[in-house]
């Protein structure tokens, strides 16, 4: 799972020809339009490679046809399944960008390089992402993902340096 990136959850079948309605969980829902293969993980944990051959957007959802699914019963069996792409098929990042999953678990350090805790989650808000720093024996700290508070990200060495102010 370390090299898989979740991009969508199959919500329900759509029509009688095996199409499924997918809730995208990626920052780039348009990526489904060019998707040629994905890893499907069913609710029972079974995993298989699938090949989308038709995708279209509808009201914030993706209507998707998989070559491996050609009827409504097959589509129903996929309800609740999750779609993933491999790291090789993930959207390329620009300089200074990171995949969220690569930041979870990094040490959170202050500007003196003292340990604050561990990055346990990152969640989006309307303006910017927010880092959740889990502290041993203390309350979690929420830090906006902006340059003022995030001073250095060194994923290779396993840490992020934060500037913390009173009130965080």
Mind listing the pLDDT tens digit for each residue in 31-64? Answer: 899 999 999 999 999 999 999 999 999 999 999 9
% of residues, the chain, pLDDT over 70 = 98
pLDDT, position 2: 67
Mean pLDDT of the chain: 92
Q: What is the mean pLDDT of residues 13-33?
A: 92
pLDDT tens, 107-123? 999 999 999 999 999 98
Nearest to 120 by CA among 92, 99, 140, 91: 140
Start-to-end CA span in the chain (Å): 32
**Other C-beta atoms within 10 Å of 35: how many?**
20
Query: Could you tell me which residues are beta bridge partners of residue 130?
Result: 123, 144
Whether residue 150 is predicted with pLDDT greater than 80 in this model: the reply is yes
């Amino acid at each position: 799972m370390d090299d898989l990136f979740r991009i969508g959850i199959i919500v329900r079948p759509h029509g009688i020809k095996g199409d499924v309605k997918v809730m995208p969980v990626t920052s780039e829902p348009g990526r489904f339009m060019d998707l040629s293969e994905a890893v499907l993980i069913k609710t029972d944990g079974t995993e298989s490679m699938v090949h989308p051959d038709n995708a279209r957007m509808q009201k914030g959802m993706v209507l998707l046809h998989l070559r491996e699914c050609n009827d409504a019963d097959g589509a129903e069996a996929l309800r609740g399944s999750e779609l993933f792409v491999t790291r090789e098929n993930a959207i390329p990042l620009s300089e200074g960008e990171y995949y969220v999953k690569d930041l979870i678990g990094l040490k959170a350090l202050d500007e003196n390089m003292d340990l604050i805790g561990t990055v346990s989650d990152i969640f989006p808000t309307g303006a910017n992402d927010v880092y959740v720093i889990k502290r041993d024996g203390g309350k979690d700290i929420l830090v906006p993902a902006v340059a003022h508070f995030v001073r250095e990200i060194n994923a290779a060495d396993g840490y992020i340096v934060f500037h913390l102010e009173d009130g965080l």
